[in-house]
């Protein structure tokens, strides 16, 4: 299987090149030339395997230039012993036909671990295969990617990693998680700006030819751990396949398939569900849930994408995004793999902050997706309601998805079984979750609130979060948007 660019049809590279490079030279994203498919017998066979086995079965369809041994090494390194109970993506039943896919049992307690525990193995294996030297990973994060990438890449041979996060755009726990990161090859810096500023800054560095040349002279090359990297997306397809396998095993009635609800920011997670659907997983509707930064809700409802709007800092900070970079891949597929058309839309987005689609493309988008959004008040109310009703504690991001799903059911009366992606542990966002459950217990100390939340709910916090209590930050850096490149070069000593 070869990979091409969303902006240039003449590009054809192996998966190892796509992963080690991260982004195509002209700024496009790598996409598979065709989407592989699985049949019912395949799913039955895969359902009998554990998560590592399922991952290998899915990955080998996309990474055809990796050997069996290489794949084995990668999936074992990523998923053996790194997640609670060796179960990276358990499916929990919330109500009849309503399931929560818990994706936060990894070392950093957010769904990013599913991809970022695997990416370092995929990337170092790819770099070896294509004969590259040292890989420098640049990350822009709205909170969770940064920590998950740091944890994945810390002290990985032949790599360096620099993470930028928006100074006022991450939760105190996310900030502490990143600022306390260990490892000799890691650097963490906050920027005066929001996530989109961080992401644009990183993209600018990636595509600056003089900087690329400077790295090359020093035996280094950039790559990305953001979901623009195919190596981030492909591991995410696995858990949708795995969820289907678990529904089959549970004997759920899937005559009409099942719906998937995803709390969305950069459109990576929900795009992985789209790929799973095209591989044969009987996903019916893909329901895209946004917070008050509802640029995707408007786009799916009207066909007009417009980032020129107020940016809100919300209780679900990992979704505070107005430029959803993976939407580019979806546009490419919606246009029947039209690189020219995609390049044009992206150019319009870069120049004016908006673009529109219409006709068949819009119809197709709307037949695949449904969309909704939820503000902070409704998010916190949902956390409280669901805890009272099910004794189940949602984090703020997952609560957005649950509320949007409830609205969807009310409006559509669609009772198809549904899987809701749960993207973070509630203890990553203790302050907001405690505010929802028992406002009177809120205070200024993060760990006091964590203790209160445990005692009020009886739900235990994950060990990696409890372990942060009393930890001293190692990093305390801040820079301006236009200083990001200097920060990177200084760290690399070039
Ligand atoms: C990253 C993140 C999201 C958004 O995922 P995308 O793939 O960017 O759409 C949602 N929830 C949490 C907790 C996250 O960390």
Q: Which two tokens stand for residue 459?
A: 């739900």
Decide whether any atom of ligand 1 lies within 6 Å of the 106 Cβ: no
Model confidence at 167, pLDDT cuts 50, 70, 90, reads: very high
Q: Please report where in the chains the tokens 């998010």 appear, as a residue.
A: 379
User: What length is written for the chain?
Assistant: 494
> Measured from the CA of 112, which atom of ligand 1 is nearest?
15
112 is catalytic: yes
- At 93, give phi and psi (nearest 5°): -85, 125
pLDDT tens figures, 176-210: 999 999 999 999 999 999 988 998 899 899 889 99
Q: What is each CA distance from 74 to 62, 357, 404, 448, in whole angstroms?
A: 14, 39, 36, 39
- At 191, give phi and psi (nearest 5°): -120, 150
Decide whether any atom of ligand 1 lies within 6 Å of the 426 Cβ: no
386 pLDDT more than 90: yes
Decide whether any atom of ligand 1 lies within 6 Å of the 417 Cβ: no
Q: Please report where in the chains the tokens 């679900």 appear, as a residue.
A: 316
CA distance linking residue 361 with residue 329, whole number of Å: 13
Give the pLDDT mean for 147-162.
Answer: 96
> Strand (E) positions, 33-183?
91-95, 98-102, 134-140, 159-166
Give the pLDDT mean for 375-383.
Answer: 98
Q: Which pLDDT score, from 0 to 100, does residue 378 have?
A: 98
Q: What percent of the chain is modeled with pLDDT above 90?
A: 93
What is the pTM (predicted TM-score) of this model?
Answer: 0.95
- How far is the centre of ligand 1, averaged over its atoms, from the C-alpha of 288 (Å)? 12
Are the C-beta atoms of 236 and 268 separated by less than 8 Å?
A: yes
Decide whether any atom of ligand 1 lies within 6 Å of the 110 Cβ: yes
Decide whether any atom of ligand 1 lies within 6 Å of the 269 Cβ: yes
Around Cβ 191, how many Cβ atoms within 10 Å?
24
Nearest-CA residue for atom 2 of ligand 1: 318
pLDDT tens figures, 305-324: 999 999 999 999 999 999 99
Q: Which two tokens stand for residue 218?
A: 């020093």
204 exposure class (CB count in 10 Å sphere: 0-12, 13-18, 19+):
middle
203 exposure class (CB count in 10 Å sphere: 0-12, 13-18, 19+):
buried
| HEC assignment per residue over 222-281 | EEECCCCCHHHHHHHHHHHHHHHHHHHHCCCCCCCCEEEEEECCCCHHHHHHHHHHHHCC
Q: What is each CA distance from 98 to 9, 27, 438, in whole angstroms?
A: 41, 39, 26
CA distance linking residue 273 with residue 327, whole number of Å: 13
What is the Cα 217 distance to its own chain's centre? 33
Model confidence at 168, pLDDT cuts 50, 70, 90, reads: confident
Are the C-beta atoms of 137 and 231 separated by less than 8 Å?
A: no
> Please, where are the H alpha helices in 2-108?
15-21, 40-47, 51-62, 68-79
Q: Which two tokens stand for residue 408?
A: 């969807």
**Rounded to the nearest 5 degrees, what angle is found at the Cα of 447, between the Cα atoms of 443 and 452?**
65
- CB under 8 Å to 487, separation ≥6 — which residues? 162, 164, 187, 189, 477, 479
Largest CA distance in the chain: 61
- How far is the centre of ligand 1, averaged over its atoms, from the C-alpha of 356 (Å)? 24
Around Cβ 349, how many Cβ atoms within 10 Å?
18
Q: Which two tokens stand for residue 252?
A: 């759920």
> Measured from the CA of 142, which atom of ligand 1 is nearest?
1
pLDDT tens figures, 19-59: 999 989 898 999 999 999 999 999 999 999 999 999 999 99
The candidate with the shortest Cα–Cα distance to 144, out of 490, 484, 422, 376, is: 422
- Given 112, 203, 386, 435, which residue is catalytic? 112
Give the pLDDT mean for 234-240.
Answer: 98
C-alpha radius of gyration, the chain, whole number = 21
Model confidence at 390, pLDDT cuts 50, 70, 90, reads: very high
Decide whether any atom of ligand 1 lies within 6 Å of the 423 Cβ: yes
- At 322, give phi and psi (nearest 5°): -110, -15
DSSP 130: T
Are the C-beta atoms of 194 and 166 separated by less than 8 Å?
A: yes
CA distance linking residue 215 with residue 223, whole number of Å: 12
**What does the DSSP assignment read for 361-404?**
HHHHHHHHEEEEE--HHHHHHHHHHHHHHHS-PPPHHHHHHHHH
What is the Cα 481 distance to its own chain's centre? 23
Are the C-beta atoms of 33 and 12 separated by less than 8 Å?
A: yes
CA distance linking residue 263 with residue 255, whole number of Å: 25
Give the pLDDT mean for 385-398.
Answer: 98
Q: Which two tokens stand for residue 188?
A: 């963490």
According to DSSP, the β-strands at 98-102 and 91-95 are: antiparallel
Computed over every residue of the chain, the mean pLDDT equals 96
The candidate with the shortest Cα–Cα distance to 29, out of 251, 311, 339, is: 339
- How far is the centre of ligand 1, averaged over its atoms, from the C-alpha of 21 (Å)? 23
Q: Which two tokens stand for residue 323?
A: 């430029």
Decide whether any atom of ligand 1 lies within 6 Å of the 149 Cβ: no
Q: Which pLDDT score, from 0 to 100, does residue 154 have?
A: 96
> Measured from the CA of 143, which atom of ligand 1 is nearest?
15
């Amino acid at each position: 299987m070869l990979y091409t660019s969303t902006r240039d049809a003449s590009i054809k590279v192996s998966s190892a090149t796509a992963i080690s490079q991260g982004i195509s030279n002209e700024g496009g994203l790598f996409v598979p030339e065709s989407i592989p498919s699985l049949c019912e017998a395949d799913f039955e066979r895969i359902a009998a395997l554990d998560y590592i086995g399922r991952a290998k079965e899915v990955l080998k369809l996309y990474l055809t230039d990796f050997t069996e041994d290489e794949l084995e090494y990668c999936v074992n390194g990523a998923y053996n012993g790194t997640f609670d109970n060796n179960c990276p993506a358990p499916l929990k039943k919330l109500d009849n036909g309503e399931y929560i896919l818990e994706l936060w049992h990894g070392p950093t307690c957010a769904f990013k671990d599913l991809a970022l525990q695997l990416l370092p193995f995929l990337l170092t294996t790819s770099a070896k295969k294509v004969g590259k030297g040292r890989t420098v990973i640049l990350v822009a994060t709205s909170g969770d990617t940064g920590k998950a990438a740091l944890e994945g890449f810390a002290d990985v041979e032949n790599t360096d990693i620099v993470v930028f996060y928006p100074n006022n755009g991450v939760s105190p726990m996310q900030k502490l998680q990143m600022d306390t990161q260990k490892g000799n090859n890691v650097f963490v810096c906050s920027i005066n700006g929001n996530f989109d500023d961080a992401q644009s800054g990183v993209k600018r560095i990636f595509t600056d030819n003089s900087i690329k040349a400077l790295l090359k002279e020093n035996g280094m090359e950039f790559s990305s751990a953001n979901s623009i990297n195919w190596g981030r997306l492909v591991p995410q397809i696995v858990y949708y396949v795995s969820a289907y396998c678990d529904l089959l095993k549970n004997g759920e009635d899937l005559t009409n398939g099942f719906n998937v609800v995803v709390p969305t920011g950069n459109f990576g997670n929900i795009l992985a569900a789209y790929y799973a659907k095209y591989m044969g997983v009987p996903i019916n509707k893909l329901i895209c849930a946004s917070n008050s930064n509802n640029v995707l809700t408007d786009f799916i409802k009207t066909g007009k994408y417009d980032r020129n709007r107020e940016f809100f800092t919300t209780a679900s900070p990992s979704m505070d995004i107005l430029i959803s970079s993976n939407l580019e891949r979806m546009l490419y597929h919606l246009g029947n793999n039209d690189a020219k058309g995609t390049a044009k839309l992206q150019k319009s987005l870069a120049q004016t902050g908006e673009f529109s689609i219409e006709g068949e493309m819009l119809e197709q988008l709307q037949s695949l997706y449904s969309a909704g959004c939820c503000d902070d008040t409704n998010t916190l109310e949902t956390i409280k309601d669901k805890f009272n009703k099910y004794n189940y504690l949602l984090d703020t991001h997952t609560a957005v998805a649950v509320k949007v799903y409830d609205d969807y059911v009310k409006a559509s009366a669609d009772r198809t079984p549904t899987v809701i992606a749960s993207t973070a542990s509630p203890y990553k966002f203790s302050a907001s979750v405690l505010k929802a459950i028992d406002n009177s217990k809120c205070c200024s100390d993060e760990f006091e609130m964590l203790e209160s939340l445990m005692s009020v709910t009886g739900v235990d916090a994950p060990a990696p979060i409890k372990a942060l209590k009393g930890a001293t930050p190692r990093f305390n850096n801040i820079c301006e948007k236009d200083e990001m490149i200097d920060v990177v070069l200084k760290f690399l000593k070039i």
